[in-house]
């Protein structure tokens, strides 16, 4: 447990940031799951709309530092590739 005044403040900040990051990460994962459900259903138009929402959530998470920017780019790329496969075939 923190004993110094500054360490106590850091502990409080850490708790707040952890809750915020958890919320952002959870929302991002929810949007990705919704996109994958649309892909499974085979609905290309719905999947395209869900991809835009998921991409926005992923990019926002990366800009807030919740996930690394490279991981965000890789995730968006893979999701886009899944949509392209659905539309092509």
Q: Has residue 18 got a pLDDT over 80?
A: yes
**What number is the average pLDDT over the span 69-74?**
98
Residue 15 belongs to what domain range? 5-88
> CATH number for the domain including 28?
1.20.58.110
* Average pLDDT of the residues of the chain: 96
From residue 86, how far is each of 3, 5, 45, 74 by CA, in Å? 56, 56, 10, 19
**Model's pTM, two decimal places?**
0.88
Identify the pLDDT of residue 76. 98
Neighbours of 88 (CB within 10 A): 7
**CA pair distance 68, 54, nearest whole angstrom:** 16
**How many independent structural domains does the chain possess?**
1
Q: Model confidence over 23-39: pLDDT tens digits?
A: 999 999 999 999 999 99
């Amino acid at each position: 447990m923190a004993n110094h005044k500054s360490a106590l403040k850091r502990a409080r900040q850490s708790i707040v940031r952890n809750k915020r990051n958890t919320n952002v990460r959870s929302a991002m994962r929810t949007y990705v799951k919704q996109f994958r459900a649309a892909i499974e259903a085979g609905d290309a138009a719905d999947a395209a709309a869900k991809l835009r929402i998921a991409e926005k959530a992923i990019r926002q998470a990366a800009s807030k530092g919740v996930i690394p920017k490279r991981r965000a780019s890789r995730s968006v790329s893979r999701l886009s590739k899944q949509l392209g496969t659905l539309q092509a075939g």
